[in-house]
Amino acid sequence: MNAEIIAVGSELLLGQIANTNAKFISTQLSELGINVFYHTVVGDNGDRLKRAIEIAESRADLIIFSGGLGPTKDDLTKETIANHLGLPLVFDDVALSYIEQFFAQWGRTMTENNRKQALILEGSEVLANHHGMAPGMLLEKDGRIYILLPGPPKEIEPMFQFEAKPKLAARLNEGGIILSHVLRFYGIGEAELEVQVQDILDNQTNPTVAPLAGDGEVTLRITAKAATEEEAWPLIRAKEAEILAIVGEYHYGNNDDSLASKIVEMLLHHNLTIAAAESLTAGLFQSELAEIPGVSGTLVGGMVTYTEQAKVQQLGIEQSLLDQYGVVSSECAAAMALKVREKFGTDIGVGLTGAAGPEPHGDQPAGTIWIGFSIGNSEPITRKLQLLGMRNSNRIRAVKLAYSYLMRLLVEKGYEKI
């Protein structure tokens, strides 16, 4: 089975939002072993949507639509599909009562255009929407499967995962499966990594190995085809071992791992607590750690010391140190790491300071960043970055590099990587 995802919405073509729905659904389909060959985005325009459907029908067995199921006049996905397939739209009583209930529960007045959302394609299975009003649909016709999903991410994600995916999985009978496993690397460029594993890339059949770079990271995706998952895993594991024997030192995690999730896992495993003092990153280092459930076992807290005054008065850094070296300095980063560790009584303290941009900070050009690490009672260690990006990419990059340096420092100190 191969799939095409059609996202409907002029806001996508105007660049107001990115097509994150296609990203999400693609991940889910790849877990089912369904190949996605194309994503298409089309505006709120019946004629152009109809032509996009015709093209998709010429190249896909499964067509998944996102968006255009809402109450407004711009929402015309199901109307266009109904017209194209020659099917009537009929009211679904369950969906209608759910919409009425939704309005009652939130104490809002139900307007007439909300009723329109309970219309479904005749003969389709309803996909319940527990986070919004427009129901989804799954329709089989002429050997093809059409799935209609709403546009808002908080509605489409649970609907696909809990309503559409099980129905799709049930329809995929005992053909072979495709299993992917992604290895994540940090601290090595894409071309350099590729040269190191050239032999593996040149001689791939099953599993295949594909590199991808992005956001300072490089990944290698290993994809195996086999009759069952049990037969696919040994193929993947063998290839993984081959790769890690060559570039293992840069490997930090797999699949959905992030540098933040791995560092949290590692800190929890070794029973280490952490605090941070942040200047240019202003809380981003801590906030990204807090995305990981269970982080309260390691993250005690920290400070945002955006101004010089906050660094002195709140963190207790000596004014003379700042006068002598400036806030964008190794000395300041080290002092921030040390002071925040002492103040919060943690095992590890991290300090981030620098000139995010667009303006330089005194004689320090934009993109000059210092990161300090205070681990236990050892002398603080600092790292300097000279980044070339824009303000926010510099801030994001600094946080990623801080996680990656911390991981390496912990390994050097004898804490096992997980």
Considering only residues 179 through 208, tell me which ones interact with its own copies, judged by CB under 8 A: 180, 182, 189-192, 194-195, 201
From candidates 8, 40, 68, 372, binder to its own copies by CB under 8 A: 40
Query: Which run of H or E residues covers position 226?
Result: strand 217-226
Distance CA(282)–CA(293), nearest Å, equals: 21
Site mask, its own copies, residues 367-406, x = CB under 8 A? Answer: ---------------------xxxxxx-x-----------
Distance CA(390)–CA(107), nearest Å, equals: 45
Residue number with CB closer to its own copies (97 or 378): 97
Distance CA(279)–CA(307), nearest Å, equals: 8
Answer for the pair 154, 73: CB distance below 8 angstroms, yes or no: no
Please give the residues from 227 up to 266 whose contact with its own copies meets the rule CB under 8 A.
none
Other CB atoms within 10 A of residue 385 CB: 17
Please give the residues from 319 up to 358 whose contact with its own copies meets the rule CB under 8 A.
343-345, 356-358
From candidates 300, 332, 338, 406, binder to its own copies by CB under 8 A: 300
Residue number with CB closer to its own copies (44 or 331): 44
From candidates 32, 57, 61, 74, binder to its own copies by CB under 8 A: 74
- Taking the complex as a whole, the smallest distance from the CB of residue 279 to its own copies amounts, in Å, to 8
Residue number with CB closer to its own copies (29 or 139): 29
Please give the residues from 118 up to 157 whose contact with its own copies meets the rule CB under 8 A.
131, 152, 154
Q: Which residues pair with 138 in a beta bridge?
A: 125, 147
Q: Is 39 left (phi over 0), alpha (psi -120 to 50) or beta?
A: beta
Reading the block at residue 60, the tokens are: 């896909």
Residue number with CB closer to its own copies (43 or 365): 43
Answer for the pair 210, 221: CB distance below 8 angstroms, yes or no: yes
- Taking the complex as a whole, the smallest distance from the CB of residue 122 to its own copies amounts, in Å, to 25
- Taking the complex as a whole, the smallest distance from the CB of residue 7 to its own copies amounts, in Å, to 8
Residue number with CB closer to its own copies (248 or 358): 358
Query: Which run of H or E residues covers position 251?
Result: strand 251-254
Site mask, its own copies, residues 82-121, x = CB under 8 A? Answer: --------------------------xx-x-xx-------
Answer for the pair 399, 410: CB distance below 8 angstroms, yes or no: no
Residue number with CB closer to its own copies (16 or 377): 16
Residue number with CB closer to its own copies (80 or 180): 180
Answer for the pair 361, 401: CB distance below 8 angstroms, yes or no: no
Please give the residues from 43 up to 72 whose contact with its own copies meets the rule CB under 8 A.
43-45, 48, 51-52, 55, 59, 70-72
- Taking the complex as a whole, the smallest distance from the CB of residue 123 to its own copies amounts, in Å, to 28
Please give the residues from 12 up to 31 whose contact with its own copies meets the rule CB under 8 A.
12-20, 22-30
Q: With CB under 8 A as the rule, give the number of residues binding its own copies.
A: 108
Distance CA(282)–CA(316), nearest Å, equals: 18
Which of 186, 184, 183, 257 lies closest to 400, judged by CA?
186
Residue number with CB closer to its own copies (300 or 375): 300
Residue number with CB closer to its own copies (124 or 373): 373
Q: Which residues pair with 383 in a beta bridge?
A: 371
What would the DSSP string read from start to end of 271-296?
T--EEEEESTTTTHHHHHHTTSTTGG
Query: Which run of H or E residues covers position 127?
Result: strand 125-127
